[in-house]
Amino acid sequence: MQSFEGKVAVVTGGGRGIGGAIARAFADRGARVAVVSRSESSCGATAEAINADHPEAAKAYAVDVADHEAVQALGKQVIEDFGGVNVLVNNAGVTRDGLLMRMKEEDWMTVLDTNLKGAFNTVKAFMRPLMKAEDPRIVNIASVIGLIGNAGQANYAASKAGLIGFTKSVARELAGKKVTCNAIAPGFITTDMTDVLPEKVREDVLAKIPLGDFGTVDDIADAVVYLSGPQGRYITGQVLAVDGGMTM
Ligand code: NDP
């Protein structure tokens, strides 16, 4: 098991689903974790559950990642609370699905502002402390939809494809400081985000997964941990699809 003893991880969207599992995975390996989500109740619940097993390992921050000023303030607060940061995981994300014909401007903006601008905001907030940290890592949670597109998800696909381009540019800009930046492209992972999809959609997706199963939040957390530890030191600017073979 990779140890994150003495390290600090910031996980956005850490209140539920994939982000909750990522926050927990870091804490189980010795890290202290800043759990960020939109609502106090969800990041608070994750932090409380982590602290029950690892006293004072986690702190909750209710911040909208789309709000530039609020995220810069978050950066200052986390550094004040933890003294530094080693790993930033941009996982907060939303969907507002609909065919382009019916998609409202608001649906486009909400998804782009959260999924793409959110990552810009956090990287801006944490890049300086990361550049001074030991084993500094950024992991962006993209999606297979950012690689292959999807009818009804033009906003989401654009945000995730943008996040991949952002990942590669950040990787190039920060390589001189040994900060790695990679993206993970999850396939279909069982969470609140996918639970709302109709049974027919789920069946259709399942038929396209060579390994014949949906992914779990721990499948993604394990990949994040791998890229974030010392073993990930020579991997940067990559997109790792964790998708049961969906996009091979
Ligand atoms: P969930 O909907 O289960 O959880 C999303 C998390 O993001 C919540 O904690 C939510 O906060 C937080 N969040 C949403 N908007 C904001 C915001 N503006 N500011 C701060 N936090 C916010 O999603 P998943 O766990 O399923 O997805 C996590 C990531 O993985 C997303 O980026 C998603 O696009 C990506 N992904 C998921 C896949 C899947 O199959 N599930 C597949 C491919 C990619 P709160 O709890 O307060 O509402």
Instruction: Select from 246, 190, 187 the least CA-distant residue to 217.
Output: 190
Asked about 226 being catalytic, the answer comes back as: no
Query: Residue 2's pLDDT is what?
Result: 86
- Interatomic CA distance for residues 209 and 144, integer angstroms: 12
Which atom of ligand 1 lies closest to the CA of 192?
A: 3
The helix/strand/coil state of 239 is strand
The helix/strand/coil state of 7 is coil
- Interatomic CA distance for residues 143 and 74, integer angstroms: 26
Q: Is the minimum distance from the CB of 215 to ligand 1 under 6 angstroms?
A: no
What is the full per-residue pLDDT of the chain (248 aa) written as tens digits? Answer: 889 999 999 999 999 999 999 999 999 999 999 999 999 999 999 999 999 999 999 999 999 999 999 999 999 999 999 999 999 999 999 999 999 999 999 999 999 999 999 999 999 999 999 999 999 999 999 999 999 999 999 999 999 999 999 999 999 999 999 999 999 999 999 999 899 989 999 999 999 999 999 999 999 999 999 999 999 999 999 999 999 999 99
In the chain the domains, ranked by start, together with CATH numbers, are: 8-242 (3.40.50.720)
Q: Locate all alpha helices (DSSP H) within the chain, ordered by sequence.
A: 17-28, 40-53, 68-82, 105-112, 118-131, 145-148, 154-174, 192-195, 199-206, 217-228
Q: Is the minimum distance from the CB of 117 to ligand 1 under 6 angstroms?
A: no
Query: Residue 153's pLDDT is what?
Result: 97
Count, residues in the chain: 248
Which atom of ligand 1 lies closest to the CA of 220?
A: 30
Mutational pocket test of ligand 1: of 12, 24, 38, the residue with most ligand atoms within 8 Å of the beta carbon: 38
Give the single-character DSSP code of 113: I
Torsion angle of C-alpha atoms 168, 174, 180, 186, degrees rounded to 10: -30
> Ligand 1 mean position to 37 CA, how many Å?
9
Q: Is the minimum distance from the CB of 192 to ligand 1 under 6 angstroms?
A: yes
- Interatomic CA distance for residues 31 and 25, integer angstroms: 9
Query: Residue 51's pLDDT is what?
Result: 98
Q: Is the minimum distance from the CB of 64 to ligand 1 under 6 angstroms?
A: yes
> Ligand 1 mean position to 197 CA, how many Å?
15
Q: Is the minimum distance from the CB of 194 to ligand 1 under 6 angstroms?
A: yes
- Interatomic CA distance for residues 179 and 199, integer angstroms: 42
Long-range contacts of 58-63 (CB under 8 A, 24+ apart): 58/23, 58/27, 58/32, 58/33, 58/34, 59/32, 59/33, 59/34, 59/35, 60/35, 60/36, 61/34, 61/35, 61/36, 62/36, 62/37, 62/38, 63/36, 63/38
Query: Residue 140's pLDDT is what?
Result: 99
Instruction: Select from 117, 18, 8, 128 the least CA-distant residue to 70.
Output: 117
Among protein residues, the one with the nearest Cα to ligand 1's atom 27 is 18
Report field, pTM of the whole predicted structure over 0.95: yes
Instruction: Select from 156, 68, 180, 59 the least CA-distant residue to 108.
Output: 156
> Ligand 1 mean position to 2 CA, how many Å?
25
